[in-house]
Amino acid sequence: MSFGRNNRVIPKLHERGIVIVKRWVWLVILLVMLWEGTGIMAAPVAPADQKEILRTLTLAQHWIKQGDYNRAITYVDFEGMAEIVMAGYWDRMAPKDKNEITTFMRNLIKEKFPVITRRLKLLKFGAITGNGNQVLCEALAVLDHTTENKDQKIQIGLIKRGSEWKAVEVYILKEGFLAGLNEDKVRPILKRGGTIQEALAAVRQVFQEQ
């Protein structure tokens, strides 16, 4: 092969290498975006944490089946829920407003929990993945088939505060319920200059429709 031909081949190989690298970069970015859609990067969870997470979910399920919803909701993180609902505004809010929204979420969940869980017969827990103090637990929600045609695959988002793990979000097809409320209801209201009370009223309306 002549020196001149080498000069023509080397740039082509270089360009092909750049294309391959770019493809891998975009693949990595895509995977990151898919995981960020749930807010959590996939990573192994320590066995001790897995044990505590399953304990939290199992106890919550136990009290739901017993009809003791006041005990069941002790495994829910209302501050975390409030933060998700007010994402994009939470960090700028005064402590008084944060407390008001957290109390609103606590009272709303306490009121609606029997309705939300009325068709649930069983939760079958699966793999747990996460990053630091945030995890996702794969689960199969086994529903009452007299009202629902099929069971539902879900993901339960949990966060760790201190030494306790608590549930904070439910994902269906990797779409968070509370994150959806933030995007579809809360943000548009606050963006146009609406009040927090208007935004919370819209959140309550969605729960009323469940």
Reported as a single tens digit per residue, the pLDDT across 105-123 is 999 999 999 998 988 999 9
Q: Are residues 55 and 123 in the same domain?
A: yes
Q: Is residue 42 part of a domain?
A: no
Which residue, 49, 73, 60, is CA-closest to 135? 49
pLDDT cut 90: percent of the chain above it: 67
CATH at residue 71: 3.10.450.710
Query: How far apart, in Å, are the Cα atoms of 173 and each of 45, 61, 82, 90, 170?
Result: 22, 22, 22, 26, 10
- Are 30 and 80 members of one domain? no
Tell me: do 15 and 65 sit in the same domain.
Answer: no
Q: Is residue 187 part of a domain?
A: yes
**195/117 same-domain check:** yes
The reply to whether 21 and 82 lie within a common domain is: no
138's tokens: 């794969």
Q: Are residues 13 and 105 in the same domain?
A: no
Q: Which of 116, 100, 85 is nearest to 179 (CA)?
A: 85
Q: State how far the alpha carbon of 103 is from the alpha carbons of 31, 99, 159, 184, in Å.
A: 36, 6, 18, 22
What whole-number distance in Å separates Cα of residue 103 and Cα of residue 112? 14
Report d(CA 167, CA 70) in Å as an integer. 15
- Tell me if 160 sits within 8 A of 49, measured CB to CB: yes
Express each pLDDT in 109-159 by its tens digit: 999 999 989 889 999 999 999 988 999 999 999 988 776 668 999 999 999
* Domain total of the chain: 2
Same-domain check for residues 30 and 83: no
Q: Is the pLDDT of residue 15 over 70?
A: no
Kindly state the tokens that stand for 96: 């008084």
Residue-range definition of the domain harbouring residue 23? 1-36
Residue 66: pLDDT band (50, 70, 90) is very high
Beta bridge partners of 138: 155
72 or 5: whose pLDDT is higher? 72
Q: How is 1-33 classified by DSSP, letter by letter?
A: --HHHHHHHHHHHHHHHHHHHHHHHHHHHHHHH
Query: Looking at the domain assignment, is residue 60 inside a domain?
Result: yes
For the chain, give the mean pLDDT.
83
The answer on 110 and 198 residing in a single domain is yes
Cβ-Cβ contacts under 8 Å for 196 (sequence gap 6 or more): 97, 100, 101, 190
If asked whether residues 97 and 164 sit together in one domain, one would say yes
- DSSP assignment of 127-139 equals EEEEETTEEEEEE
CA–CA dist 154, 173 (Å, integer)? 7
Residue 184 lies in a domain: yes
Residue 20: pLDDT above 70?
A: no
